[in-house]
Chains A and B, each alone.
Chain A
Amino acid sequence: MSAPARLASTEAPSLGVFGRLARRRKRRDRMMTAVLLVAVILALVPIILILIEVIRRGIGAMNWEFLTSTQIFSQRREGGGYLNGLVGTLYMVTIATLVAVPLGVGSATYVVEYKDARLVPFIQFFTDVMTGVPSIFIGLYIYTLLVQGNIGLSVGFSTLAGGLALSLLMIPIVARSSEEVLRLVPDDLRNAAYGLGARRWQVVTQIVLPTARSGLITGSMLAIGRAAGETAPLLLTALGAFTVVPQLVNAPQSALPLIIYNEARGPFEAAHARAWAGALELMLLVLLVTIVARAIGRGTEIEQ
C-alpha cells in the first residue's frame, strides 16, 4: 500500500496509481484469456469422450457376424447383427435423397436465378422455418398423411413413409446450402453465356449448375448425413423390423438408429454391447458421408 514498499518491489517501474491499475488490468486480461481457454477445453471434452467411448465399446462388440447378420429376436441373448438396420437406413436415405435433392436444388435455383419473383421471399423465409421444425413432428405429419392415409392414400408403416419423412428433413438443408453455393457463381459466367445467345434454362442447366456442382454435392451429402442419423421420425413412419425388408410400401422397415434406440433402452448387457457396435457403425457411416462432403467442397471451391 505505502509508496516506499511499492518502490522497493522489483516489478515494473512505478507509475503510481496508474501503474497499479495497469497491473490489475494485465492480470485481469491474463485471467480472462485463461477463462476463455477453459471454455474451449470444456467444449472439446464431450466430443473426445463420445469418440473414445463409441470406438472403445463399439470395437469390443464389433465382429463379422454383427456386420453380416440380421437381428435376433431376444435382446437377452448374444449374437446377431444390425444388417437389417443398415439395409433399411441405406434404402430410406436413398429414397429421401431422390426426393429431397431435386426439390431442394430446384428451390434454391429458383430463389437465386429468379430473385425478383414474388414468391422468392416467402420461399426463403419458410425454408428457414422448415429447418426448425422438430423432426418428431415431421414423423407425426407423415404418419397422419401417409401411414394413416388422410388424403385417401395409405402406404402403412413402410420404407416409403420413412424415406419421405427423412426427405422432409433434408429439403431445407439441401435448399439452404445450395442457395449459398449458387450465389457464389460469378455473374460474368452467366453474362458470357447470355452473350453467346443461350436461353435462360440453358444458362442455368449448362453453366450455373455445373459450375456449382461440387458445392451442391457437399450440401446434399451433409443433409444425407443428418438424415441417416435420425431416429424420431422413423419411430412413427418406418416402425422397425427384424428382417431385411425389400418392400417399398405396407411393410415396416428397420433402421440403424431405431435398433440402437430399442436395444439401448432395455436392461440387457448383450443388447447394450450390440447398441455400441451399432453406434460405431452409424457414426462411421455419418462421418464418412460428412468427410467426403467436406473433401468435395474443399477440393473445388469457387473463387470469388
Chain B
Amino acid sequence: MTAARDDDRPLARLPLSSARSSSADRWFRWLLAAAGASVLLILATMLISTSIDSWPVFQKEGFGFMTGTTWDPGTSRTEVTGEYGALSFIVGTLVTSGIALVIAVPLAIGTAMYLTHVASRRVKNPLTYAIELLAAVPSVVYGLWGLLFFVPVVLRPAMDLIAQTLGSFIPFLAGPVVTYNYFAAGVVLSIMILPIITAVTREVMAKTPDSEIQAAYGLGATRWEMLRFIVLPRARPGIIGATMLGLGRALGETIAVAMLIGGSKQIPDTIFLGGQSMAGIIAVTFQEAAPENVKALIGVGVVLFVITVFVNMVARAIVMLTGGRVTGDASI
C-alpha cells in the first residue's frame, strides 16, 4: 500500500484547506529540502575549504607529500619552506588500524554468533547492552585508561612475552619493546571498534532464515556445523561490510591513538616501537604549528578524509547489497 501520497494535493477539497495553507505546504517542503541539502552543502564545502588551505603544500611537495618520510615543518607565515612527507603517518594509521582489525574481527564474529544463536534469551540482552556500552565510552577516556593503566599494567607484560617468543622468528614482532607503540594503539583501537563490528555482524546473522537453520538440524548438523555452514556463509558479505566500517572508524580515530602510539616521526621496524598516525600528528602538533605547518596538517587531514570516506562508501555499499542499510545505535 502506498500510503504517503506523492503529490501535495489533498484527497478532497475540504473547508480546512485554503490557498494559504497550500502555499504553506510549499514552504514547508522547501524548508525540509533545505535541511536535507545542508548535508550535501557541508560535505562539499568541507572538501573545498580544506583543499584550498592546503593547496600550497600539495603544490610544493606534489606526490612526495604521500611518499616522503621527512616531516620537517618550517616556520614561515606566507611561504612553504619546510619539508612535508607524511608517509610515516600514513603507515602509522594503516598499521594500527590493521592490528585493530586482526584482533577485533574474529572476536566480533565469535561474539555475534554467541549472541544470536547460542546465548539464552535471558543473558542475551544484558550481554548485548554491555558490549554496546563500549561505544559510549569517550575516546579520551580510552586514551587515559590506556595511557595510565591498560598499556603499562596489562599489555606491557604481554608485549614482552610476544617479543621474546614469537619475536625470535617473526621480524616485525621482535624486541626491543617500548611501552607506547603501534601494537598498544592497535589493541586499544580494536576495543573501540569492537561494538560497531559486532552490532552489524549480529544484525546480519540474526537474519538467517529459520527454515535453513531447521533444515541443517534436521540433517543432523551439530550447532557448530549449523553456524559454520549456514550462518557464516550467509553473513559473509555483511561481515566484510562491518569490517570496512570498523576500518573507517579506526582510520579516523584521533585522541586515543595519539596518546598511545608513542609519538615518533619515524617508521619503526617492529610494531613494538613508537610511531605517529595521521590524525595523531594533527592533534598533537596543531596548536603550536606555524601557518605553513598548519597548511601541511590540513593537507594530512585531506588525505585522511579521502581514505576514510572511500573505505566507508565501499563498506556501506557492501552492506547495502546484502540487505538494507546499517542500523542500530553502535553503527552511527
User: Which A residues are closer than 8 A to B by beta carbons?
Assistant: 25-26, 28-29, 32-33, 35-40, 42-44, 46-47, 49-50, 53-54, 102-107, 109-117, 119-120, 122-138, 140-141, 143-145, 148, 150, 168, 171-173, 175-177, 180, 187-188, 190-191, 194-202, 204-205, 222, 225, 228-232, 235-236, 239, 257, 260-261, 264-265, 272, 275-276, 279, 282-283, 286-287, 290
Pairwise interchain contact B282-A140, C-beta atoms closer than 8 A: yes
- Which listed residue (B141, B254, B329) contacts A260, Cβ 8 A? B141
Chain B interface secondary structure, helix, strand, loop or mixed? helix
Question: Knowing A140-B298, A141-B50, A286-B138 touch, does A119 contact B36 (C-beta < 8 A)?
Answer: yes
B131 & A44 in contact (Cβ 8 Å cutoff): yes
Q: Is the CB of B49 within 8 A of A29?
A: no
Q: Is the contact region of chain A dominated by helix, strand, or loop, or is it mixed? A: helix
Q: Do B222 and A25 touch (CB < 8 A)? A: yes
17 contacts between A and B (CB under 8 A): A25-B222, A46-B194, A109-B35, A125-B316, A129-B309, A133-B309, A135-B254, A136-B252, A137-B305, A171-B42, A177-B332, A180-B327, A202-B21, A205-B28, A231-B138, A264-B147, A272-B148
Report B-chain residues with C-beta under 8 Å of the C-beta of A231: 138-140, 254-255, 283
CB proximity to A under 8 Å, residues B283-298: 283, 286-287, 297-298
CA distance A33 to B110 in the complex (A): 9
Contact B252 A145 (CB under 8 A): no
Q: When the two chains form their complex, are residues B138 and A232 in contact, meaning their CB atoms are under 8 A apart?
A: no
Task: Tell me whether B21 and A29 are in contact (CB under 8 A).
Answer: no
B113 contacts partner chain A, Cβ-Cβ < 8 Å: yes
- Which of B35, B106, B198 is the most central at the interface, judged by chain A CB atoms within 10 Å of its CB? B35
Most buried by B among A26, A133, A180, A230: A133
Q: B40 an interface residue at 8 Å Cβ cutoff?
A: yes
What CA separation (Å) do A230 and B137 show in the bound complex?
Answer: 10
For A205, the closest partner residue in chain B by CB is: B28
Contacts A199-B17, A225-B136 given; does A25 touch B332 at CB 8 Å = no
With an 8 A cutoff between CB atoms, is B223 at the interface? Answer: yes
B222 touches A197 (CB 8 A): no
| Number of residue pairs spanning A and B whose beta carbons lie under 8 angstroms apart | 314
Given A144-B298, A204-B28, A260-B144, A191–B3 Cβ distance below 8 Å? Answer: yes
B287 engages A187 (CB within 8 Å)? no
Q: A132-B312, A173-B332, A225-B136 are in contact. Are A103 and B35 (CB under 8 A)?
A: yes
B187 CB to closest chain A CB (Å) equals 9
Write the nearest CB–CB distance from A219 to chain B, whole angstroms: 9
Contacts of A190 in B (CB 8 A): 3-4
Q: Which of A103, A198, A201 has the most CB of B within 10 A?
A: A201
Contacting B255 at CB < 8 Å: which of A126, A172, A261? A261
- Contact partner of A129 (CB less than 8 A), chosen from B107, B297, B312, B327, is B312
Do residues B127 and A40 form an inter-chain contact, with CB atoms below 8 A? Answer: yes
Which A residues are CB-close (under 8 A) to B229?
none
State whether B36 touches A128 (Cβ < 8 A). Answer: no
Selected contact of B113 from candidates A36, A116, A120, CB within 8 Å:
A36
Instruction: Return the CB mask of B317-332 against A: 1 if under 8 Å, else 0.
Output: 0000000011101001
Interface flag for B31 (CB, 8 Å): yes
The yes or no answer to B313 lying at the interface (CB within 8 A) is yes
Establish whether residues B301 and A136, one from each chain, have CB atoms under 8 Å apart when the complex forms: yes
Docked-complex contact B11 and A194, CB < 8 angstroms: yes
Task: Report the 7 A-B pairs with minimum CB-CB distance, sorted nearest first.
Answer: A229-B138, A39-B110, A134-B252, A187-B3, A106-B35, A197-B14, A132-B312
Interchain CB contact (< 8 A) of A39 among B29, B34, B106: B106
